[in-house]
């Protein structure tokens, strides 16, 4: 197979060669039909010229139209299906050889290919894998500490999730709206619980040094503040996705990391 990549000038009148190369078919590939060889050559070429073809429309000049064969075939299987997937991301337009000049160079490259060349690899990683199981064990219990901070600098929240084997996942963000300290507390809690849900955690123990937030989340105290009711409702809805979730109070000295994350986040300035 042979390939020449040419680029038009801004007026579309002049061309200049950007890249050209050739490759010899392997013994297995040489058994393909002429149309399949053309498809194979096109796929191999796109892999070699990806940095050029990915961001521009490409005019394809060949003896036959492999694009029509691949994308209009009623049933796809095996290598044809793989070629289709590999070509989907490119904007390739087929034009006849009579419409363009310079195809003699391609014919020459195809007739005198490079002998020592590796075959094209079109295998996809893990393409034979039928199922992927969750890495988290259902019996694993995670802990979460959260805190909110409001000061003259701004408002911020922080949370940290810790697995049973001691791996920690901190999370922090600055709040770009005016809020009370209690609102920041609930923002931190909802952010941490949402993160736990996204990580497919099933069992969670939530800790905070605020009696108000913990008792309200446990349903022991009624949430009266209208600004906190939407947060309380949202966290309760998230909690239904867990096998078990508890909210417990801890002393301030046990919540220092989450407190530090929340305080630091108030100092962030995003330009």
The model's pLDDT over 54-74, given as tens digits with 9 standing for 90+, comes to 777 777 777 667 666 666 665
pLDDT over threshold 90, residue 85: no
Higher model confidence: residue 92 or residue 228?
A: 228
Residue 247 has pLDDT above 90, yes or no: yes
Residue 136, domain member (yes or no): no
Phi, psi angle pair for 252, to nearest 5°: -60, -35
Residue 218 pLDDT greater than 80, yes or no: yes
Does residue 54 sit in the same domain as residue 149? no
- What's the confidence (pLDDT) of residue 246? 94
Q: Let me know if residue 121 belongs to a domain.
A: no
Do 102 and 15 lie in one domain? The reply is yes
Are residues 165 and 107 located together in one domain of the fold?
no
**Is residue 123 assigned to a domain?**
no
Q: Mark whether 178 and 239 lie in a shared domain.
A: yes
> For residue 32, what are the domain limits?
2-111
Report the domain count for the chain. 2
- Cα torsion 26, 30, 33, 35 to 10°: value is 50
Q: For 178-193, what is the mean pLDDT?
A: 91
Are 99 and 153 in the same domain? no
> Are 162 and 250 found together in one domain?
yes
Q: pTM for the full model?
A: 0.50
Mark whether 175 and 251 lie in a shared domain.
Answer: yes
User: Can you say whether the dihedral through the CA atoms of 147, 168, 243, 230 is positive or negative?
Assistant: positive
- Residue 221, phi then psi, degrees to nearest 5: -115, 145
Last residue of a domain, one of 111, 129, 151: 111
Same structural domain, 106 and 171: no
pLDDT at 80: 72
**6 and 74 inside one domain:** yes
Residues 76 and 22 in one domain: yes
């Amino acid at each position: 197979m042979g390939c020449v990549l040419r680029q038009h000038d801004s007026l579309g009148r002049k061309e200049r060669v950007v890249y050209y190369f050739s490759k010899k078919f392997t013994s297995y590939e040489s058994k393909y039909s002429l149309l399949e060889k053309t498809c194979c050559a096109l796929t191999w070429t796109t892999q070699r010229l990806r940095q050029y073809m990915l961001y521009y429309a490409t005019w394809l000049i060949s003896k036959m139209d492999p694009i029509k064969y691949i994308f209009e075939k009623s049933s796809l299987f095996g290598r044809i299906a793989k070629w289709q997937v590999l070509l989907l991301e490119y904007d390739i337009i087929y034009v006849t050889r009579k419409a363009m000049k310079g195809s003699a160079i391609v014919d020459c490259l195809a007739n005198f290919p490079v002998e020592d060349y590796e075959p094209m690899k079109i295998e996809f990683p893990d393409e034979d894998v039928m199922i992927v199981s969750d890495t988290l064990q259902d019996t694993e219990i995670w802990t979460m500490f959260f805190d909110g901070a409001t000061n003259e600098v701004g408002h911020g929240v922080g949370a940290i999730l810790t697995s049973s084997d001691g791996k920690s996942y901190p999370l922090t963000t600055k709040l770009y709206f005016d809020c009370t300290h209690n609102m920041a507390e609930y923002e931190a809690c909802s952010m941490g619980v949402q993160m736990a849900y996204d990580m497919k955690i099933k069992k969670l123990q939530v800790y905070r040094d605020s009696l108000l937030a913990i008792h309200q989340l446990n349903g022991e105290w009624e949430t009266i503040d209208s600004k906190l009711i939407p947060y309380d409702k949202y966290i309760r809805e998230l909690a239904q996705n867990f096998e078990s979730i508890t909210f417990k109070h801890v002393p301030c000295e046990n919540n220092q990391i989450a407190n530090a994350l929340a305080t630091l986040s108030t100092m962030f300035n995003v330009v």
